[in-house]
């Protein structure tokens, strides 16, 4: 049968909807179309990305304020470093982050204070006062370096203060000017000294054993070597203990230099537009970096799902 | 064929292309528009489903279900993307695929219990027996493309839209289906 005749015959046998169906559809069509409702799927389509964005923002944006410096008291870790930078008023000069030294353990305590004073006269007065503070607390100046040029000047003072008085010393020294920066370093030496003690004890046992042996040239050499080693270790131990007795406090004094008034930047009439475009670009870059990988994954998943669905449909329609 | 008074049974809407133009060209969106589209394209949807399923009774139920679903989705229909007839055929196809899936599940269950019963009935009224036998040899997919392109006289683009494939692919499918039908008829002769 030619295709044209075939098509004509097929069209001639075109089915017509029965009356019952027509009536049924008419009833359906007479209903008002339902209003769009907020379905679970729609709500999820909005809420899930919003929650994901909020979580991502919370994770990616770190908290602006660092946790406050904890004041260390009593037991200290083997080595602690504290530091702060920024101006503080002299009235609130008590350094908040100065850790307290331990009275029961050997510690090497280093403190560094950077202070600003008003003028050269205040610099001289503060230097004198710092030396007086050290003397009053049974300390001494290890080095003092003062230079004054015109209205400006600076002083670098290194003080050795008994560890028991270092907190008071720091408190008083902090009141000499405006704190610009402060730094504390505490290193525990107890374990180190104990190790040295153990080493010395072992060497002394070996020395005693060597002395108990019959003396000859070799034994004599061994005794000499052990004795030298024990003495060196004892010297080191004594130096370590000495260094732990006094804290080192470095005080840096400088005359406050008036900061020049900020120069108004020369900006053209299109500066605002440039800034706006820059921020837009940054935002776009972030959006691309954060949005492209999930979008690619989502697109791939959707394409895969569509292909799978089509294959299933084809298999459904491949039967007579 | 029963027509309601006032429905567009004019000369312009007597051909499939004319029906598409009339449906796309006129009425405002809403209940009336859907009612008119339903009235105008009921036969097309029913015919398509009858060809696709090969079961007139199932086609009746599926046609009713198609229009119920189409009413729910009517707000999504965009005339710029296709005629109401194409869109309704798309909805009908989705409904038919759902039906095929549930049928397949049912047959699977019944196969486990006993041999499933199959009722052979006439595919379409007015077809020559040898043509009907040849049509029975075609797959649902092949019957579907013949129904859309030959019986409903949809153009290749619209038919491809209904099937979710390219127009070229649609033409190829039609060609193969017709050739298979001719071969079956020749073999029967």
Two structure tokens written together for A277: 């475009």
In angstroms, the separation between the Cα of residue B60 and the nearest Cα of chain A is: 6
Statement to judge: residues A251 and A128 lie in one domain? yes
Residues recorded for chain B: 189
Range of the domain at A169: 79-188+245-255
Note the pLDDT tens digit of each residue in A93-113: 445 567 778 777 888 889 999
Q: Is residue B9 part of a domain?
A: no
Statement to judge: residues A122 and A202 lie in one domain? no
Query: Which residues of chain B make contact with A3, given a CB cutoff of 8 A?
Result: 178, 182
Statement to judge: residues A131 and A206 lie in one domain? no
Using the Cβ of B183 and the Cβ atoms of chain A, whether some distance falls under 8 Å is answered with no
pLDDT at A62: 52
CA angle A29, A30, A36 (to 5 degrees): 75
Q: Is residue B3 part of a domain?
A: no
Q: CATH number of the domain at B49, please.
A: 1.20.140.160
Statement to judge: residues A249 and A132 lie in one domain? yes
CB-CB: which of A1, A10, A29 is closest to B38? A29
The owner of tokens 């007579």 is: A320
Using the Cβ of B58 and the Cβ atoms of chain A, whether some distance falls under 8 Å is answered with no
pLDDT, greater one: A28 or A258? A28
Note the pLDDT tens digit of each residue in B153-168: 999 999 999 998 999 9
Domain boundary among A225, A255, A285: A255
Statement to judge: residues A130 and A154 lie in one domain? yes
- The pTM for the full model equals 0.48
Statement to judge: residues A144 and A249 lie in one domain? yes
Residue B127, pLDDT > 50, answer yes
Closest residue of chain B to A11, computed from CA coordinates: B151
The total of structural domains in chain A comes to: 2
Q: Is residue B45 part of a domain?
A: yes
Interface confidence, given as ipTM, is: 0.73
CB-side neighbour CA atoms (13 Å) of B107: 9
CB-CB: which of A29, A32, A316 is closest to B67? A29
Q: Is residue A139 part of a domain?
A: yes
Residue B62, pLDDT > 70, answer yes
Q: Is residue B6 part of a domain?
A: no
Q: Is residue A163 part of a domain?
A: yes
Note the pLDDT tens digit of each residue in A183-220: 888 888 888 889 999 999 999 998 888 888 888 888 88
Q: Is residue A293 part of a domain?
A: no
Among B47, B31, B49, B36, CA closest to B9 = B36
Statement to judge: residues A84 and A184 lie in one domain? yes
pLDDT at A191: 87
Statement to judge: residues A211 and A161 lie in one domain? no
Statement to judge: residues A215 and A129 lie in one domain? no
Statement to judge: residues A115 and A250 lie in one domain? yes
Mean pLDDT of the residues in chain B: 79
CA angle A72, A74, A76 (to 5 degrees): 60
Using the Cβ of B27 and the Cβ atoms of chain A, whether some distance falls under 8 Å is answered with no
Statement to judge: residues A196 and A184 lie in one domain? no
Counting one residue from chain A and one from chain B, the pairs whose CB atoms sit within 8 A come to: 123
DSSP state of A296: H
Range of the domain at B171: 15-188
Mean pLDDT of the residues in chain A: 82
In angstroms, the separation between the Cα of residue A47 and the nearest Cα of chain B is: 22
Can you tell me the mean pLDDT for B158-186?
91
Residue A260, pLDDT > 60, answer yes
Q: Is residue A227 part of a domain?
A: yes
Note the pLDDT tens digit of each residue in B102-121: 988 888 887 766 655 555 56
Query: Which residues of chain A make contact with B52, given a CB cutoff of 8 A?
Result: 317
The total of structural domains in chain B comes to: 1
Q: Is residue B5 part of a domain?
A: no
Note the pLDDT tens digit of each residue in A38-55: 777 888 888 888 888 888
Quickly state the pLDDT bin for B21 (edges 50, 70, 90): very low
Statement to judge: residues A146 and A249 lie in one domain? yes
pLDDT, greater one: A61 or B92? B92
Q: Is residue A314 part of a domain?
A: no
CB-CB: which of B131, B139, B144 is closest to A320? B139
């Amino acid at each position: 049968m030619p295709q044209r005749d075939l098509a004509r015959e097929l069209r001639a046998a075109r089915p017509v909807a029965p009356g019952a169906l027509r009536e049924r559809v008419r009833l359906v069509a007479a209903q008002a179309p339902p209003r769009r409702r907020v379905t679970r799927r729609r709500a999820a389509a909005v809420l899930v990305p919003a929650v994901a964005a909020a979580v991502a923002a919370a994770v990616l944006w770190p908290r602006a304020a660092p946790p406050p410096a904890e004041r260390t008291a009593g037991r200290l870790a083997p080595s602690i470093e504290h530091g702060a930078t920024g101006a503080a008023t002299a009235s609130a000069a008590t350094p908040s982050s100065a850790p307290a030294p331990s009275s029961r353990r050997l510690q090497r305590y280093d403190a560094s204070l950077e202070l600003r004073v008003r003028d050269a006269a205040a610099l001289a007065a503060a230097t004198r006062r710092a030396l007086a503070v050290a003397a009053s607390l049974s300390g001494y100046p290890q080095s003092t370096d003062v230079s004054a040029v015109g209205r400006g000047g600076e002083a670098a003072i290194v003080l050795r203060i008994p560890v028991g008085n270092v907190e008071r010393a720091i408190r008083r020294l902090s009141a000499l000017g405006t704190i610009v920066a402060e730094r504390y370093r505490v290193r525990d030496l107890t374990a180190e000294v104990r190790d040295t003690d153990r080493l010395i004890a072992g060497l002394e046992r070996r020395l005693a054993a060597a002395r108990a042996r019959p003396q000859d040239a070799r034994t004599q050499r061994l005794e000499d070597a052990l004795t030298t080693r024990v003495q060196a270790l004892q010297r080191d131990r004594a130096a370590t203990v000495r260094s732990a007795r006094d804290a080192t406090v470095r005080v840096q004094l400088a005359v406050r230099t008036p900061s020049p008034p900020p120069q108004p930047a020369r900006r053209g009439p299109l500066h605002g537009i440039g800034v706006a475009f820059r921020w837009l670009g940054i935002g776009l870059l972030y959006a691309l970096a954060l949005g492209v990988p999930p979008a690619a994954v989502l697109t791939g998943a959707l394409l895969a799902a569509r292909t799978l669905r089509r294959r299933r449909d084809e298999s459904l329609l491949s039967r007579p | 064929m029963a027509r309601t008074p006032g429905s567009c049974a004019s000369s312009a809407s007597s051909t499939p292309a004319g029906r598409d133009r009339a449906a796309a060209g006129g009425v405002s969106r809403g209940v009336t528009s859907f009612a008119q589209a339903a009235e105008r394209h009921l036969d097309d949807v029913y015919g398509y489903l009858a060809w696709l399923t090969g079961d007139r009774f199932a086609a009746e139920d599926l046609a009713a279900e198609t229009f119920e679903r189409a009413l729910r989705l009517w707000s999504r229909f965009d005339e710029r993307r296709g005629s109401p007839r194409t869109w309704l055929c798309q909805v009908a196809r989705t409904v038919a695929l759902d039906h095929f899936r549930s049928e397949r599940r049912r047959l699977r269950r019944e196969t486990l219990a006993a041999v499933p019963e199959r009722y052979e009935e006439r595919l379409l009224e007015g077809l020559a027996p040898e043509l009907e036998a040849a049509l029975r040899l075609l797959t649902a997919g092949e019957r579907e493309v013949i129904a859309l392109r030959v019986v409903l006289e949809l153009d290749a683009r619209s038919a491809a839209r209904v099937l979710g494939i390219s127009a070229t692919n649609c033409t190829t499918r039609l060609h193969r289906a017709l050739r298979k039908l001719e071969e079956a008829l020749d073999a029967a002769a």
